[in-house]
Amino acid sequence: MWTFGGRNPHLRPWRRLGMTDPSILVTNDDGIDAHGIRALADALEAVGDVTVVAPPTTNPGPAAI
């Protein structure tokens, strides 16, 4: 798991109102190295504090239920 947060004040107008950044959870069952998970997390970093949770390798069983 990794966590990070963007700090661009121009993309976070709610800070001027004294509000906190939204917490955003990105998760999947395809593994931490799955195509696109990092790109999604990087894009969302512009609007809030992002936490990514994913298994170390693909784990398709739970999604198949």
Of 48 and 4, which is predicted with more confidence? 48
Contact 3, 56 (CB under 8 A): no
pLDDT in tens, 22-64: 899 999 888 888 889 999 999 998 888 899 999 988 876 665 5
Alpha helices (H) in 3-63, listed in sequence order: 37-44
Residue 9 pLDDT grade (very low, low, confident, very high; cuts 50, 70, 90):
low
